[in-house]
Structure 1
Amino acid sequence: MLFLDHTPELTETDMIIYRIIVKNMNTVVYMRIRDLAKITYCSTASIQRFCQKFDCAGWSEFKTRLKLYVANKNLNQEYPTDLDSGEVVRSIMETDTPDGRQKIDEVAKMLLTRKQVLWIGQGTSKILAEFGAVNYSSFVNLSLLIQNPIDNPIVDFDETATDELCLIVCSVSGENHIIIKYIDNFIKHKIPVVAITNNVTSTIAKMSQYTLTYFATQQMIESDNVTTQTPAMFLIEKLIRRASSLKQVEKDSKL
């Protein structure tokens, strides 16, 4: 991870700091610790602890090592094709923590109160959304993918529909402007929106009533986001199977 040859144990606060650094590597190397604290909304103490997890005494040493890493990366022009298996496994294991299970249970219970679950995504996230729609239909109830949000705008909803619908949004960055504009109508009509994203501080995450996050280092090839979707796919399947289990428990209780 970055200039380390291993992946340190990072908290959610650490991941917020990490994402900002990775996204702005060419500029953060010139920032003071106070400047970084402002854009990450974290304390300077949190940043110092983050640096120590990267085997640095503090922010100054971290910046020095990061500068060398960025210079070497620019020199080699390596494409981000490798995957950090430790990071992927840790993100998957996060779903089994008490907090992870609680969040999944909360969303799963809400889904069972809705007759129609819609899925949406763009790019590779659209493939994930389709995976979610197909699996939800198999395990729980008929579910649909919104194929093209640009050609299928939603202007208004019937009042009866708002109590039956739910929208699940798949977005790595959580900043896709097409998706943001599309889900705005759902939110205005108080239809529950679930965000499955790699960015807990993103616009889509903040707009959504429910947010399920995973951790994966952002990887770009020019303007294309090629961040791994493995943790997201696991999270989707975990959510669907949990909803299916709760539905079966509900059925058994009525017998």
Structure 2
Amino acid sequence: MLFLPHKVELKNVEIDIYNYIAANVDKVIYMRIRDLASATHVSTTTILRFCKKFECEGFTDFKLKLQQYVKEQTEKHQDIQRVDEMPYIDFLRRTTNDSFQQKIDEAAEILLEVDLVLFVGIGSSGIIAAYGAMLFSSMFTLALPITDPLNTPLTNISRELNKRICLVSLSVSGENQDLIDYINQLKIHQAKIISITNSSNSTISNMSDVNIPYYTGTEMFQDTNITSQLPVTYILEILAKRVYNQKHSS
């Protein structure tokens, strides 16, 4: 809450003070204690008790910490670089290489032999996983997205079906521990694993039967990974069409 990393238990009147400060933080850092008391219709003593709950010795100490908090939030703002088309152009060029096409063929061979495809990803990869499941379902087989791998156990699937499942794991870093645990759970039951990652040198890629890396730069905004999912979308689409064409040509 405000500059504290943890929640503070507040009474109703203190919640009103908190809401006023949060909505008028740029003004509060220049107020006197009597001004804030008047604006929130409480006594200065109530303001001091409120400040102590925020681990401050008094109102002046509270304003200093609040001012520092505002400064830190302002400094978090950063410009996002304009889109650079070259990494995507380079990726598309690499898709014509024999090594890339071989990976697509190997993944297609697995998908032609399974009855159920599960897609798993977290964050933006989870959104693309849902798209992949819709795409595969519409073109050649039943596919389902796993949006919450921590709470979607697969222990009740029959042994026969386990061998007819393929998990498509989407991960930029290839190091997400929740996905690693999920893959381990399926590998024990002899399910096939296809992964699409930003690098072939990662834990998830090494655990997979087939890994399709796309090698584009990782982009972060503050604490969020905003690496483009354009290569992943392309890979899913070309893979779905490859499986469809092979299935109907045979």
Same fold (TM over 0.5): yes
Check the 8 A contact 1:119/1:146 in 2, yes or no.
yes
What letter matches 1:241 in structure 2?
A: K
Bigger relative contact order, structure 1 or 2 (CA pairs below 8 A, ≥6 apart): 1
The aligned counterpart of 2:248 is 248
The aligned counterpart of 1:106 is 106
Q: Indicate whether 1:82 and 2:82 are aligned.
A: yes
- Report the CA distance between 1:128 and its aligned residue: 0.9
Query: Could you list the runs of 5+ residues in structure 1 that have no partner in the other structure?
Result: 1-74, 251-255
Check the 8 A contact 1:88/1:215 in 2, yes or no.
no
TM-score by length of 2: 0.66
TM-score by length of 1: 0.65
The aligned counterpart of 1:208 is 208
- Report the CA distance between 1:100 and its aligned residue: 1.0
Encode CA deviations 1:49-84: one digit per residue, 9 max, x unaligned.
xxxxxxxxxxxxxxxxxxxxxxxxxx9x85444222
Percent identical across equivalent pairs? 32
Check the 8 A contact 1:194/1:210 in 2, yes or no.
yes
Check the 8 A contact 2:111/2:166 in 1, yes or no.
yes
Rg comparison, structure with higher value: 2
Figure out how many residues of one structure are paired with residues of the other and give that number. 176
What letter matches 1:88 in structure 2?
A: Y
Give SS of 2:95's match. Answer: helix
What letter matches 2:246 in structure 1?
A: L
The aligned counterpart of 2:177 is 177
- Equivalent runs, 1:1-255 vs 2, <5 Å: 78-155=78-155, 157-250=157-250
CA distance in 2, matches of 1:176, 1:88: 24
Check the 8 A contact 1:79/1:221 in 2, yes or no.
no
- Report the CA distance between 1:201 and its aligned residue: 1.0
Encode CA deviations 1:24-61: one digit per residue, 9 max, x unaligned.
xxxxxxxxxxxxxxxxxxxxxxxxxxxxxxxxxxxxxx
CA distance in 1, matches of 2:197, 2:81: 21
Encode CA deviations 1:109-136: one digit per residue, 9 max, x unaligned.
1101001111010000011111111010
Give SS of 1:211's match. Answer: strand
CA distance in 2, matches of 1:93, 1:238: 14
